[in-house]
Amino acid sequence: MAMEKVLEQLEGRINDLVTAYSGAKERISELESRVKELENEATASQESADRITQLEQQRETLATRLEKVLSNIDEALKTAE
Protein backbone atom coordinates (compact mmCIF):
# COMPACT_ATOMS: atom_id res chain seq x y z
CA MET A 1 0.00 0.00 0.00
CA ALA A 2 2.80 2.45 0.85
CA MET A 3 4.47 1.68 -2.46
CA GLU A 4 1.24 2.51 -4.29
CA LYS A 5 1.11 5.92 -2.61
CA VAL A 6 4.75 6.66 -3.50
CA LEU A 7 4.12 5.68 -7.12
CA GLU A 8 1.03 7.93 -7.27
CA GLN A 9 3.04 10.85 -5.89
CA LEU A 10 5.81 10.17 -8.37
CA GLU A 11 3.29 10.00 -11.21
CA GLY A 12 1.76 13.29 -10.05
CA ARG A 13 5.13 14.98 -9.98
CA ILE A 14 6.00 13.65 -13.42
CA ASN A 15 2.70 15.00 -14.75
CA ASP A 16 3.44 18.37 -13.14
CA LEU A 17 6.87 18.43 -14.76
CA VAL A 18 5.42 17.54 -18.16
CA THR A 19 2.85 20.32 -17.80
CA ALA A 20 5.51 22.81 -16.75
CA TYR A 21 7.74 21.74 -19.65
CA SER A 22 4.90 22.19 -22.14
CA GLY A 23 4.17 25.64 -20.72
CA ALA A 24 7.84 26.57 -20.96
CA LYS A 25 7.98 25.43 -24.59
CA GLU A 26 4.93 27.57 -25.41
CA ARG A 27 6.48 30.57 -23.67
CA ILE A 28 9.74 30.09 -25.56
CA SER A 29 7.81 30.00 -28.82
CA GLU A 30 5.97 33.21 -27.88
CA LEU A 31 9.23 34.91 -26.96
CA GLU A 32 10.90 33.82 -30.19
CA SER A 33 8.00 35.30 -32.15
CA ARG A 34 8.27 38.55 -30.19
CA VAL A 35 12.02 38.69 -30.83
CA LYS A 36 11.37 38.33 -34.57
CA GLU A 37 8.80 41.13 -34.43
CA LEU A 38 11.23 43.40 -32.60
CA GLU A 39 14.02 42.56 -35.04
CA ASN A 40 11.71 43.47 -37.93
CA GLU A 41 10.80 46.75 -36.23
CA ALA A 42 14.48 47.49 -35.64
CA THR A 43 15.25 46.79 -39.29
CA ALA A 44 12.41 49.05 -40.40
CA SER A 45 13.62 51.77 -38.04
CA GLN A 46 17.15 51.49 -39.40
CA GLU A 47 15.84 51.65 -42.97
CA SER A 48 13.88 54.77 -42.06
CA ALA A 49 16.94 56.32 -40.45
CA ASP A 50 18.99 55.53 -43.56
CA ARG A 51 16.31 57.08 -45.77
CA ILE A 52 16.21 60.21 -43.60
CA THR A 53 19.98 60.54 -43.87
CA GLN A 54 19.78 60.16 -47.63
CA LEU A 55 17.03 62.78 -47.90
CA GLU A 56 18.96 65.22 -45.72
CA GLN A 57 22.01 64.82 -47.96
CA GLN A 58 19.86 65.45 -51.02
CA ARG A 59 18.39 68.53 -49.37
CA GLU A 60 21.86 69.89 -48.61
CA THR A 61 22.95 69.25 -52.19
CA LEU A 62 19.88 70.98 -53.57
CA ALA A 63 20.35 73.93 -51.20
CA THR A 64 23.94 74.33 -52.36
CA ARG A 65 22.93 74.19 -56.01
CA LEU A 66 20.08 76.64 -55.43
CA GLU A 67 22.43 79.08 -53.72
CA LYS A 68 24.78 78.82 -56.69
CA VAL A 69 21.94 79.45 -59.17
CA LEU A 70 20.70 82.44 -57.15
CA SER A 71 24.23 83.79 -56.99
CA ASN A 72 24.55 83.47 -60.77
CA ILE A 73 21.22 85.27 -61.23
CA ASP A 74 22.34 88.08 -58.90
CA GLU A 75 25.60 88.45 -60.83
CA ALA A 76 23.74 88.48 -64.14
CA LEU A 77 21.35 91.17 -62.86
CA LYS A 78 24.23 93.32 -61.58
CA THR A 79 26.06 93.17 -64.91
CA ALA A 80 22.85 93.91 -66.79
CA GLU A 81 22.39 97.16 -64.89
SS3 of residue 53 by DSSP? helix
CA dihedral (20, 26, 29, 35) in degrees, to 10, reads -80
Q: What is the pLDDT of residues 42-67, one digit of tens each?
A: 999 999 999 999 999 999 999 999 99
- ∠ CA(67), CA(69), CA(73), 5° rounding? 115
Task: Reply yes or no on whether the pLDDT at 80 is more than 90.
Answer: no
6 CA to centre of own chain: 52
Rg (CA), the chain: 35
